[in-house]
Amino acid sequence: EDAQKNLNVSILTIEQQEKLRQFKIQTRINNETYLRAHPEVDEIIGDFLRLVY
């Protein structure tokens, strides 16, 4: 999200802003669908975080 703060979406046209918004929404939906279909990913991430912290 920090990277998003540095983006200036106001230079995009209204149409481009809407396409970007829809893309972000669809990407989040796709990510959530994938993660729900692959519970092993959650386990791998959990294992990794336990090792790092």
Q: How confident is the model at residue 1 (pLDDT cuts 50, 70, 90)?
A: low
Helices (H), the chain: 2-5, 14-37, 39-52
pLDDT of residue 4: 62
**Residues 42, 44, 47, 49, CA torsion sign:** negative
* Number of CB atoms found within 10 A of residue 17's CB: 13
Pair 20, 12: CB distance under 8 Å: yes
3-53 pLDDT tens trace: 666 678 889 999 999 999 999 999 999 999 999 999 999 999 999 999 999
pLDDT of residue 3: 60
Burial of 40 from C-beta contacts in 10 A (0-12 / 13-18 / 19+): exposed
